[in-house]
Structure formats: structure tokens, C-alpha cells
Amino acid sequence: MGKILQVGIRVQVALATALMVVCLAALMSFVVGKRSGSDLQNQIGLGVSDIARQMADELDRTMWTHRGEVSVLSTLSVLRELQDTQEISSIINRLRREIPIFTWIGVLDRDGTVVAATGDLLVGANIAQRPVFQYGKNGQFIGDVHDAKLLAEKFPLYNGEPIQFVDIAVPLYNEDDEFTGVLATHLSWEWADTVRKSLFSGQGIHQNVDIFVVAQDGTVLLGADGGLVGAKLDLDALGEAQRNHIGWKINTWSDGEEYLTGYAPADGHLDYDGLNWSILVRQHVDDALAPVHQLRRDILLWGVVLAAVFSFISWWAAGFLVGPIGKMANAIEAMKRGEIDKLPDVQGAREINILSRSLQALLAKLTEKDAALGEMQHIAHHDKLTGLGNRLALDVYFEHAIARADRKKGELAVLMLDLDDFKPINDRFGHAAGDDVLREVAKRLRRCVRGGDLVARLGGDEMVLVCNVEQDGAAEATMLAERILHEILMPFITGGNRVSINMSIGISLYPGHSQQPDQLLENADSALYVAKARGKNGYVLYSDDMAQQEIKPSRA
């Protein structure tokens, strides 16, 4: 009878547990798989759109840079006067050798005749009807991608196709402000393909992506290994990019296949307005979402495996529940027969459960207390908006950092940071956009420092960075300041708006400028005011004469 009872309970417990685990595993597989798959798909899409944005930024910055180079070249007096063609030829040929992206550079007189050119190509030819002269004589001109009309036979094919150019031209004026000619340049379009191949080839889940540069009318200017070049696209993603949106979509392309398509506009850089290009980055939907499908399969598989494992464990564990019950039943029968006068101590499920519940309750209380203390400590030491340290964290860090610097005979660099013209962002786009910018600034600052350094927010847009440096602390601190300025110079995207902002930095060193934390901060603050006064977007290393300044300029 006891064996039948034992087997019956054991089987019932095992079956009940197995059924519960199977149902729970199925439910978790569905919920977690759906939620995780959706999050992962969005993450992959954002990664593709980020590649498009980076490609657009790289193209715009490159065009902005070379436009500036042409403008600077046009200020040389020898070019403006057009007297010494031999010297002009030497200058432009040297520039061509140093910067090969300038495939052809020519200097045209006021009638459109080429008087000097790289490699002497087209010297003596009149190209007054070409856009570089027609538009260049009226002001700075940047022409879109086009075939080489006059130079096609002078240069080798690229990817089996004739070479293409982007034009930059500026007018030339002598010292009497008289128009003397045009400085015309052809930039080989190969550089854009080089950017596509080398900088944005894709890694990890973004391997095998195709990157396209599309003109304003939808014509493909640059494609994957020449694919679709010259064709016109009609895609939702392209329309979004032309409306200055950044994001991703799943679109059906001209080959009938679905691709996860990231998009971004190439809308210029600083004072360069761009050529209204759009950047599309596509990855076949099966390749792009393969991790999503694999995740769902893995969750389902692990759910089934865990259900089988827990079913076996529950069947095995049921024996420990039945054993004490059988022992108690035998003891009761023995008492009935008068063989014993008291029940023996039985170690079984009840006692184990009581102990388990007690320990669990105690552990839960201790865990709650530790979690609460940890949360309170985190709140006390961190800025709520940016997650950076606050003034309290800065004071604590100074104690340990100064002691460590003294032990290692090293130095500390204190960088006082303040955003230039931050208030107009709040006024124009709202405080939510300003908060987004502050959070992004915090992320970029974290990327600039090492693990043992501290970035803290003192309030508003004022932050401070404390880092350990070697013996040549001034050199390391200024290099860090330059890296920070470079990071902050990159545009911010908030609410679909591109925001540019600069930063001023003041630097002081421990122990050279002071051995007291408060004085170090004050010295760095004095250097920051000097940086602001010098035109902002720069850094200044503290010097003793700054302490004599009584009137400090505004930080606005």
C-alpha cells in the first residue's frame, strides 16, 4: 500500500511539474522571442541607417575640405595675376601630386582659355562653354557628378566605365579687383568609391551591405561595384532621405528582392550646403534579419530542452517528498501496534520548505537592503540627467586620485569644460533637445577617457574631467583636450534636427598649479574664461598670470 502511494504521488508531482514547465517554456519562448526579435531587428536597422549617416557625413566633410583647399589656392597672387604661367603650372602640379583626388586642375583666363593645367592637359584649349567656366566666373561653383567630356580619353577606365568627376571652380581677381580668370578643378569620383569600400564595408551583422550614393533626381551615382549606376530609383527610403530624414525601412528593390534599407541625406557640412545627395545602405532582408530568426529558434529550442530537463528533475525530486511521508506513515502504524510511543524526527519536505522559506525571506530582506543602499549611493554620486558623476563623486575621486598620483610620482589633469552658445539650443529646439545634447556630450566624453578617469557634471552645461597623466602632464592634457574638441565638433542629431555646438576647455595640473582640489578647479575655471575670451572652441592651459585677472568674461 505504501509503495502504491509513493509511486502515485511521485508520478503526479512529476506530471504536474512537467506540464507547468512546458506551458511556461512555451509562453516565455513566445513572449521573449517576439520582444527580443523586435528589439534586435530595430537594432540592426539602426546600425544600417548609422552606416548611411556616416557615409553621408564623410562625403560632405571631404567635399567641404577640398572646397576650402581650392578657395585657399585661389588667393595666391601668382594665380590671381596670371602672369607667370610656369610658376602656376609648378604649383598646381605639386598640389596634384600631394592630393591625387584632384585629377585635373586648370587655370583659365578671362576668355575661358586654359593657360596652365596639371600634366599640361587641355593647355591652349578654350572651354568657355563648360560649366566650370560658365558658373565659376560668377562665384564659387561645385558641380555634381558628371562624365569627363574633354578628358575621357586622357584617363584609364574605372571598373570598366569612363572616369567621372565632381567640379570645384572659383573666380580669380587681381589686386585691382578685376576678373582675371577661373581656377577650375576636377575631383575624381573614385574617392567616393574608396570611402565606400574601406570605411563602410561593414562588420559583424552588417557584413555584405551595399552602399549607394543617389543624386537629387533619383539617379544612382555610386553603387556596389558599379551596380545600378545610372539607374533611377523609386523607393520609400529614398523619399525619406530626400526629406532630410534618417532611419531605415524594408523596401522591395528593382530586382524584386526585399532589402533592409538604411537612409540618410548628405546635406552639407558647416558652410558647405551639399549637392542634395542621398545615401542608401541596403542588406538583403534574409541576411540582415538572420540573427533575429536564429534568436527565435534558439529560444524555442532551449525552452523544449529546459522543459525536458525540469520534467526529469521534478520526477527525481518527488522521491524526496514521498520518502518522509512513507516514513511518517510507517511510524503511525507502529504507534497503532504499540511498538513505539512517539514519532521520530522526520527530515523531509516540510522541514526543508520551512528552512528554505526562512532563508529566502532573510536573503530577500538583505538583498532589498543592499539594493536600496546601492541605489541611494548611486543617486548621491551621479547626475540624474547624464549619468555622470556629481560634485560629491568629484570630491571622493580627488581623495583617491591625489593619493595615487603621489604614490606613483605622477600628475593629475583637471579639465573644466563648458559648452559654447548652449542656451540658443534650448531657446530654439526646447529643453528636451538641450537635454538630448547634454546626454550625447556625456557619452562622447566617456569615450575620450580611460577607465580610471572621472567625468562629472557640476551643473547646467558645465562639466569637469579629472584624469591621471604621466610625467609630461601638459602634453597629455592638451592632446586629450584636442580629442574632446574633435568629438564635440561632430554634429548632434536630436528630434530629427542636426545641431552643431562647440566647447571651451580650461586646464590645470596637479601638483604643478596647485595641490588643493578646490584651487585646481578654480585655476582650470580661470583658464576656461580665457579660452572663452579668445574666441571659444579651444583650450587654454592655466598659467600663474591668470590668477591676477579680476574681471572674467561671460560664458554665454
| pLDDT 10s digits, 544-553 | 777 555 434 4
pLDDT of residue 446: 86
Tens digits of per-residue pLDDT, 510-537? Answer: 888 888 888 888 998 888 888 888 887 8
Cα distances from 163 to residues 136, 167, 233, 321, in angstroms, run 22, 13, 22, 82
Q: Residue holding cell 579651444?
A: 538
Q: Which of 59-73, 143-157, 435-449 has the lowest mean pLDDT?
A: 143-157
pLDDT of residue 294: 72
* Top-confidence residue, 496 or 115: 115
User: Which residue type sits at 503?
Assistant: M
Q: For 433, left (φ over 0), alpha (ψ -120 to 50), or beta?
A: alpha
Q: Using an 8 Å Cβ cutoff, are 220 and 233 in contact?
A: yes
Closest CA to 33 of 284, 259, 291: 291
Q: Please tell me the chain's helix, strand, coil percentages from 3-state DSSP, rounded to the nearest 5.
A: 50, 20, 25
Q: If pLDDT is split at 50, 70 and 90, which confidence band does 364 have? A: very low
Backbone CA torsion sign across 269, 274, 278, 280? negative
Tens digits of per-residue pLDDT, 298-349? Answer: 776 776 777 677 667 766 766 666 666 556 556 566 656 766 655 555 555 5
pLDDT of residue 381: 62
Secondary structure of residue 387 in the 3-state scheme: coil
- How do 164-173 and 179-188 pair as beta strands? antiparallel
pLDDT at residue 54 above 50? yes
Average pLDDT, the chain: 77
Which stretches of 318-453 are assigned E, i.e. beta strand?
A: 411-420
Tens digits of per-residue pLDDT, 241-257? Answer: 889 999 988 898 888 88
The three state secondary structure string of 461-508 is: CEEEEEEEECCCHHHHHHHHHHHHHHHHHCCEEECCEEECCEEEEEEE
pLDDT at residue 209 above 90? no
Closest CA to 418 of 459, 377, 450: 459
Q: Using an 8 Å Cβ cutoff, are 402 and 517 in contact?
A: yes
Q: Using an 8 Å Cβ cutoff, are 302 and 284 in contact?
A: no
Give me the numbers of helices (H) and strands (E) for the chain, helices first please: 14, 17
Secondary structure of residue 54 in the 3-state scheme: helix
375 — phi, psi (to 5°)?
-65, -40
Q: What does the DSSP 8-state code read for residue 449?
A: S
Catalytic residue among 193, 210, 461, 525: 461
Q: If pLDDT is split at 50, 70 and 90, which confidence band does 66 have? A: confident
String of DSSP letters for 194-232: HHHHHTSS--GGGTT-EEEEE-TTSBEEE-GGGTTTT-B
As given in the structure block, the three cell numbers for residue 192 are 567616393
H/E run at residue 167: strand 164-173
String of DSSP letters for 89-143: HHHHHHHHHH-TTEEEEEEEETTSBEEEEGGGTTTT-B-TTSHHHHTGGGS-EEE
Q: What is the CA radius of gyration of the chain?
A: 35
pLDDT at residue 140 above 50? yes
Q: Residue holding cell 520534467?
A: 311
CA distance 108 to 125: 9
pLDDT > 70: what percent of the chain?
A: 71
For helices 85-98 and 2-73, angle between their N-to-C axes, nearest 10 degrees: 170
CA distance 235 to 241: 10
pLDDT of residue 12: 66
Q: If pLDDT is split at 50, 70 and 90, which confidence band does 352 have? A: very low
Q: Known catalytic residue: 111?
A: no
Tens digits of per-residue pLDDT, 102-139? Answer: 888 999 999 999 999 998 888 889 988 988 899 999 99
Residues in Cβ contact with 333 at an 8 Å cutoff, skipping those fewer than 6 apart: none
pLDDT of residue 221: 81
Residues making up the chain, counted from first to last:
556
Give Cα 250 distance to the centre of its chain: 22
Domains of the chain by range and CATH?
2-38+299-367 (no CATH), 39-298 (3.30.450.20), 391-548 (3.30.70.270)
pLDDT of residue 359: 35
H/E run at residue 145: strand 141-147
The pTM assigned to this predicted structure is 0.48
Q: Which residues pair with 260 in a beta bridge?
A: 250, 283
Angle at 88 between CA 83 and CA 90, to 5 degrees: 140
Q: Using an 8 Å Cβ cutoff, are 140 and 69 in contact?
A: no
CA distance 253 to 395: 58
Closest CA to 443 of 381, 397, 514, 387: 387
Q: Using an 8 Å Cβ cutoff, are 453 and 468 in contact?
A: yes
As given in the structure block, the three cell numbers for residue 254 are 528593382
Q: Which residues of 22-48 are buried (b: 16+ CB within 10 A; e: fewer)?
A: beebeeebeeebeeebeebbeebbebb
